[in-house]
Chain A
Amino acid sequence: MTVTSDRSAPADAPLGAPAPKRLGNLLKTRELGIVLALALLVAYTAIDNPRFLSGQSIRDNLLNTAILAVMATGQAVVVITRNIDLSVGSVLGISAFAVATLMSDHPGLPMAVAILVGLAVGAVAGLINGVLVRYGKVPALVVTLGTLYIYRGITYSWAGGSQVNADELPRHFLTFANDSLLGIPWLVLIAVIVVGAGSVLMRNYRVGRELYAMGSSPAAAELAGIKVARNLLGAFVLSGALAGLAGVLYAARFGTVDAAAGTGYELNVVAAVVVGGVAVFGGSGSVWGAALGALLLTVIGSALAVLDINQFWQQAIVGALIILAICADRLVAVRIARSLRKRDAHV
């Protein structure tokens, strides 16, 4: 675990940090690797079919990434604190159904209200997770696995077999998914804002650095006087709230919401975060890396469809990529550790 903590701080230090150049480059490899993989994939697919780079296609890929990226931001923050939030798919489901029901019952409500309600529903769900993890002293994996089923169960018993269809939702709610500001769809804009704010918070703010410290060594963080409880609750509330926001975006984008909305999303989100270079043992990685992971997974999905690769292979390929990402991460970690030892560097 010392390895991960050793490399966390410089990896996310501002660019002007006086780290040796070679080391600096090495440290950036994780995000760089994703960008490289992404570029390769896009180039290969575009050579096979130039329409992959058409405006419509880029727009589709960004729109498809938006929801996943929003959730990956929250998940990255939680994973950096050496926890995990498996309930996000269910939180998305309950928020999507709540907001869709609200909007179909009160078509006059503005979009802002829908977003606030989604955030609130998610925040409450996240707070419950956080309280159970912190004060119940139960591992996050177990707590959120439990709440995954509880939140989904609540949605099932509330929704029953009913579903909210596109024709029941107000027009402005549905068009929100496709409307754009200065050519950028709202959905993408929201995702960019969330990812950007999350990245800055984690990189440049005290609370962000504290979260990294908590993930590197929970005991040391506590002894160092970091308000572990407050920060942990904050991380879970953030993850929940962003999953709630994702629920609103989901309802607006797909227009059809039933109790099963978002089932299995938690695994996509965790995959995006891991592929994006956030170590599952906490303390390292970045929010924008996780967002890149989300983008990569989405582009893989579209690219495989365009490349006409057999359906049966698609999931296996995603799985292989996750393992590859973890291997690469491990490799980088070992090299950094060696390089740090050689230079007798310290954090």
Chain B
Amino acid sequence: MEYAVLRSPRTLLSVGSAALLVIGLSACGGTTKDSASNDTAAGGQASAAADPNAAIKEGLKIAFLPKQLNNPYSDVETGGGKVAVDELKGEYKLVGPNDASASSQVSYINTLIQQQQDVIVVAANDPNAVCPSLNQARAAKIKVITFDSDASKDCRDAFINQATTQGIGESLAKMALEQAGADGGEIAVLSATPNATNQNSWIDVMKKELAKPDYAKLKLVKVAYGNDDDQKSFQEAQGLLQSYPNLKVIVAPTTVGIAAAARYISSSSYKGKVAVTGLGLPNQMREYVKDGTVAKFALWNPADIGYLAAFAGAAMASGQITGAPGEKFKAGKLGEYTIGADGEIVLGPPTEFTKANIDQFNF
């Protein structure tokens, strides 16, 4: 991941304006009218709805604004975005704050508007705090795609959903059942913060799943919160095991939580008795999968999220899609995607990682 990371809005502004001087407005480039079906060179184009004949424009300025820079997970996502922008022959830019606080992204959005980007791909730190700025961007004819964490529906054009809430919740329940074995038993959830939107909605779905007859043998005894902090997650995992001596499985739908729980279990007397599963990063979990603490966990491929977001943004900036439900577009190696209700584009089911396949992944 060798792309330049611009940190302060000031350097960003100066670099951005320099780029503007050199390149000028590129939004008007690429007007070839090839029909959708035989133009495959660029790797993606429209296929239906809005203006299927519009080709992907070259030289689109696509800016990524993750929740924060220097976050390993965000870096993989935006890394996938860079690959896609290169395939699209666009201009890739990455900016972002160093902290994931609610308001820290606003100044970056304002700068991107001034730089007249074509597409802003943003992972909203707060669904509402970024809204006024994003709407300002859309008024300036910039397409706004959210990924990772959505902004309010009325201030973005489309949302790349890593997987449906339903899909993840189901997958968590399914893995818990597999790990608990035929006899079932007590399970507990080790989540991120108590008010983390993603985790809470997954846990809700998981609870609904557990209420079904198939899961009758599983009993969810507690949802603990490790605040996505190593030490705190450690302590919560310890608390769970002390409070519930018969615990069979810890399900951690957060990368920090699952790693902390796995590390704790692997070094304690509970190893082999309590299983850990959930959502984790293969690199972080490799050690514990290989030593047998963790048999299986899942995650979508974060690089694919950035990749898909870039293609969706390019398709929209080129006029192929508008964000209306039912419109279709092609996203390079990922194939064709259809826009769902509320402008949501779902990446697909999460990938499951086990001892057998974990070495094929590097993120």
Chains A and B belong together in one complex: yes
Which residues 211-244 in B have Cβ within 8 Å of A in the complex? Answer: 222, 224-225, 227, 230-232, 234-236, 238-243
A64 pairs with B234, CB closer than 8 A: yes
Majority SS at the chain B contact face: helix
Return the chain B residue nearest A312 by Cβ: B194
B139 on the A face (CB < 8 A): no
Write the nearest CB–CB distance from A154 to chain B, whole angstroms: 13
A254 pairs with B75, CB closer than 8 A: no
In the complex, per-residue mask of B278-320: 1 if CB is within 8 Å of any chain A CB, else 0: 0000011011101000000000000000000000000000000
Q: Give the residue of A51, A166, A177 whose beta carbon is less than 8 angstroms from that of B242.
A: A51
A2 on the B face (CB < 8 A): no
A3 on the B face (CB < 8 A): no
A57 pairs with B238, CB closer than 8 A: yes
Q: Give the residue of B235, B242, B259, B290 whose beta carbon is less than 8 angstroms from that of A301.
A: B235
B268 pairs with A163, CB closer than 8 A: no
Which residues 32-86 in A have Cβ within 8 Å of B in the complex? Answer: 49, 51-52, 54, 56-57, 60, 64
In the complex, per-residue mask of A133-168: 1 if CB is within 8 Å of any chain B CB, else 0: 000000000000000000000001001111101110
A60 pairs with B283, CB closer than 8 A: no
Kindly state the separation between the CA atoms of A56 and B75 in the bound complex, as whole angstroms: 37
B98 on the A face (CB < 8 A): yes
A161 pairs with B69, CB closer than 8 A: yes
Write the nearest CB–CB distance from B233 to chain A, whole angstroms: 10
Kindly state the separation between the CA atoms of A60 and B241 in the bound complex, as whole angstroms: 12
Write the nearest CB–CB distance from B125 to chain A, whole angstroms: 16
B14 on the A face (CB < 8 A): no
Which residues 239-278 in B have Cβ within 8 Å of A in the complex? Answer: 239-243, 245, 259-260, 263, 267-270
Return the chain B residue nearest A268 by Cβ: B231
B70 pairs with A305, CB closer than 8 A: no
Return the chain B residue nearest A68 by Cβ: B231
B71 pairs with A161, CB closer than 8 A: yes
A255 pairs with B268, CB closer than 8 A: no
B5 on the A face (CB < 8 A): yes
Residue in A54, A56, A304, A311 whose Cβ sees the most chain B Cβ within 10 Å: A311
B242 pairs with A54, CB closer than 8 A: yes
Majority SS at the chain A contact face: helix
Q: Give the residue of A160, A254, A308, A312 whose beta carbon is less than 8 angstroms from that of B263.
A: A254
Kindly state the separation between the CA atoms of A64 and B259 in the bound complex, as whole angstroms: 16
Write the nearest CB–CB distance from B30 to chain A, whole angstroms: 32
Kindly state the separation between the CA atoms of A49 and B239 in the bound complex, as whole angstroms: 10
B283 pairs with A49, CB closer than 8 A: no
A305-B238 in contact given A178-B267, A254-B260, A256-B230 (Cβ < 8 Å): yes
B72 pairs with A161, CB closer than 8 A: yes
Contact-residue size bin, chain A (C-beta under 8 Å from the other chain): 35 or more
B74 on the A face (CB < 8 A): yes
Return the chain A residue nearest B79 by Cβ: A161
Give the residues in chain A near B242, CB-CB below 8 Å. 49, 51-52, 54, 57, 306
Give the residues in chain A near B22, CB-CB below 8 Å. none
B1 on the A face (CB < 8 A): yes
A305 pairs with B239, CB closer than 8 A: yes
Give the residues in chain B near A254, CB-CB below 8 Å. 230-231, 234, 260, 263
Q: Give the residue of A56, A161, A308 whose beta carbon is less than 8 angstroms from that of B243.
A: A308
Return the chain A residue nearest B264 by Cβ: A60
B290 pairs with A306, CB closer than 8 A: no
In the complex, per-residue mask of B1-34: 1 if CB is within 8 Å of any chain A CB, else 0: 1000100000000000000000000000000000
Which residues 64-84 in B have Cβ within 8 Å of A in the complex? Answer: 69-72, 74-75
Give the residues in chain A near B290, CB-CB below 8 Å. 167
A302 on the B face (CB < 8 A): yes
A306-B232 in contact given A167-B290, A258-B72 (Cβ < 8 Å): no
Write the nearest CB–CB distance from B303 to chain A, whole angstroms: 13
Return the chain B residue nearest A45 by Cβ: B242
B287 pairs with A255, CB closer than 8 A: yes
Give the residues in chain B near A298, CB-CB below 8 Å. 235
A166-B287 in contact given A64-B234, A161-B72, A305-B238 (Cβ < 8 Å): yes
Give the residues in chain A near B75, CB-CB below 8 Å. 160-161
Give the residues in chain B near A260, CB-CB below 8 Å. 70
Kindly state the separation between the CA atoms of A271 and B260 in the bound complex, as whole angstroms: 24
Q: Give the residue of B70, B194, B224, B238 whose beta carbon is less than 8 angstroms from that of A161.
A: B70
Kindly state the separation between the CA atoms of A49 and B238 in the bound complex, as whole angstroms: 13
Write the nearest CB–CB distance from A48 to chain B, whole angstroms: 9
Residue in B5, B70, B236 whose Cβ sees the most chain A Cβ within 10 Å: B70
Write the nearest CB–CB distance from B323 to chain A, whole angstroms: 30
Kindly state the separation between the CA atoms of A343 and B316 in the bound complex, as whole angstroms: 85
A259 on the B face (CB < 8 A): yes
Q: Give the residue of B235, B269, B287 whose beta carbon is less than 8 angstroms from that of A302.
A: B235
Kindly state the separation between the CA atoms of A60 and B268 in the bound complex, as whole angstroms: 9
Kindly state the separation between the CA atoms of A335 and B290 in the bound complex, as whole angstroms: 60
A305-B263 in contact given A56-B268, A64-B231 (Cβ < 8 Å): no
A302-B239 in contact given A64-B234, A256-B230 (Cβ < 8 Å): yes
Write the nearest CB–CB distance from B170 to chain A, whole angstroms: 26
In the complex, per-residue mask of A164-179: 1 if CB is within 8 Å of any chain B CB, else 0: 0111000000100110
Write the nearest CB–CB distance from A187 to chain B, whole angstroms: 11
In the complex, per-residue mask of B165-195: 1 if CB is within 8 Å of any chain A CB, else 0: 0000000000000000000000000000110
Q: Give the residue of A165, A258, A304, A312 whose beta carbon is less than 8 angstroms from that of B287.
A: A165
Kindly state the separation between the CA atoms of A255 and B258 in the bound complex, as whole angstroms: 13
Return the chain B residue nearest A306 by Cβ: B239
Give the residues in chain B near A51, CB-CB below 8 Å. 242-243, 245
In the complex, per-residue mask of B145-169: 1 if CB is within 8 Å of any chain A CB, else 0: 0000000000000000000000000
A302-B238 in contact given A161-B69, A163-B72, A308-B222 (Cβ < 8 Å): yes
Of the A-B pairs whose beta carbons lie under 8 Å apart in the complex, a sample of 12, sorted by A's number, is A54-B242, A56-B269, A64-B235, A160-B5, A160-B75, A254-B263, A256-B263, A259-B70, A304-B239, A305-B240, A305-B243, A311-B225
Residues of chain A whose beta carbon lies under 8 Å from any beta carbon of chain B: 49, 51-52, 54, 56-57, 60, 64, 156, 159-163, 165-167, 174, 177-178, 254-256, 258-260, 298, 301-302, 304-306, 308, 311-312
